Amino acid sequence: MYKEPGKTKFQIELRRHLRAQDIPDDLVHLICEIAEACKYVINAVRTGDLGVAGTSNLYGEEQLALDVLSDRIIKKRLIHSGVVCNMVSEEMDEIFHVSDERAGKYSVAYDPLDGSSLVDVNLAVGTIVSIYQGCDLMQEGSRQVAAMYILYGPRVSLVYTVGNGVHEFTMNHLNEFTLTRENVTMKPSGDIYSPGGQRNKYLPGVEKYVQHLEAKGAKLRYSGGFVPDINQVLMKGKGLFMYPMLNGSPNGKLRLLYELNPMAYIVEQAGGAASTGTCRILDIKPESLDQRAPVFIGCSEDVELAKEFLNAQ
Ligand code: AFP
C-alpha cells in the first residue's frame, strides 16, 4: 500500500503513485500524458458531434466523428510526449513512426474510443492502451511494460498496471485522477458472465459452458462495451467476459493489439487469466495489426473451466 504522510488514499494522485513504482521517468511521463489526453476525449464524448466522419477504418467500419476526433487527440499528445517511437491505433491503417532518436523510447497501441457506437445511446465507453519498450509493436503481449484503460462512465476512472499490481484512479471535481483502489485482486471464481457474440453462432463447447453458467445461477452482465464489461468483472473481482470463436468467425471479434493484450495484462496482474480457449492471450505473437482472437478473460478457475468445455467438444 502506497502511503504518504498526511495524505489519505483519495488524495494520492496518479503521478505520485506512478513515481512510487520502480519504472523510468519517461514511462511515468507517457502514462500521465495519455491520462491528460483522455480529459479532452471525455469532453468530446460528452459534447462532441455524433455525426459520421465519412471515412472508414481498416475494418471497413464507418468512423464516427468521435472515433476520429479521439484518435487525433491521443495521437497528437503521443507525438509531443517526446518519448514515443511508434504508435498504432484501431483507427489507423498502419504504424505511425514518430521518432527513434532517444533510447528508452516507447511504442503504443491503443483503441481511442472502444465502444464508440454506444455513445449515441449514452452507454459507457473507454480508451484502451498498450505500451511496449522500444520500437517494436508486434511483440507478444507478455512483453508489455504498461497497460491502462480509461472508462467514461457515470464516473471517469483510470486503471493501470506496470507489472506491479492493478490500481484504479477516479477523476475528482478538480479533474485529477486520485487513487481509489490499489492492488485490485480477483477471486478464483465468480458468478458474473459477460457473453459477447450471437449465441446461435456459438460452438457446442461454448454453448454447453453457457448452459452450465445459467444452471449454476450466474448473472449475465453485458453492455456491448469491452471496457465497462471488463471493468465490472475486474472491480467486482468475480466472473468472466468472453467473446468466443463463432461459426463463421473463428477468431471472434476483438483485436489483439488494442483490446485483448492490454486487458489480458491487467487481468493477469489482478490474479485472473486470459485465454483464446487454447492458448494464453499474452503468448500470441502478433502477425498483423488487425489480428483478432477469441477470448475468455476473468477469474482463473472460470477461464480454466471454459477451456475444459471447449476441449471436450
Ligand atoms: P465498437 O468499438 O465497434 O463499438 O465495438 C466495441 C467492441 O469492439 C467491444 O467494445 C465490445 O466488447 C464488442 O465490440 C461488442 O461486440 P458486439 O456488438 O458484437 O456484442
What domains can you pick out in the chain, each with its CATH number? 9-181 (3.30.540.10), 192-312 (3.40.190.80)
Is pLDDT above 80 for 251?
yes
Q: Which atom of ligand 1 is nearest to the CA of 118?
A: 4
Rounded distance, CA 250 to CA 138, Å? 21
**Percentage of the residues of the chain whose pLDDT score is greater than 90:** 84
Phi, psi of 42 (to 5 degrees): -55, -45
* Residue-wise pLDDT tens digits, 1-27: 566 666 665 668 999 999 999 999 999
* Residue-wise pLDDT tens digits, 58-93: 676 665 588 899 999 999 999 999 999 999 999 999
Task: Outline where the chain has alpha helix (H).
Answer: 14-19, 25-47, 65-81, 204-215, 226-236, 261-269, 300-312
Pocket test for ligand 1, best of 254, 263, 290, 296 (most atoms within 8 A of CB): 254
Mean pLDDT across the chain = 93
* Residue-wise pLDDT tens digits, 183-229: 999 999 999 999 999 999 999 999 999 999 999 999 999 999 999 99
Q: Kindly give the distance from the C-alpha atom of residue 302 to the centroid of ligand 1, in angstroms, as a whole number.
A: 22
pLDDT for res 47: 81
Query: For ligand 1, atom 5, which residue shows the shortest CA distance?
Result: 115
Decide whether any atom of ligand 1 lies within 6 Å of the 91 Cβ.
no
pTM: 0.93
- Region 272-276 average pLDDT: 98
Size of the chain, expressed as the number of residues it contains: 313
39 contacts 154 by C-beta, under 8 angstroms: no
pLDDT for res 63: 58
Decide whether any atom of ligand 1 lies within 6 Å of the 70 Cβ.
no
Decide whether any atom of ligand 1 lies within 6 Å of the 244 Cβ.
no
pLDDT for res 44: 87
Look at 119 and 57; give whichever has higher pLDDT: 119
Phi, psi of 24 (to 5 degrees): -65, 150
Tell which residue, 243, 197, 236, has the closest CA to residue 218.
236
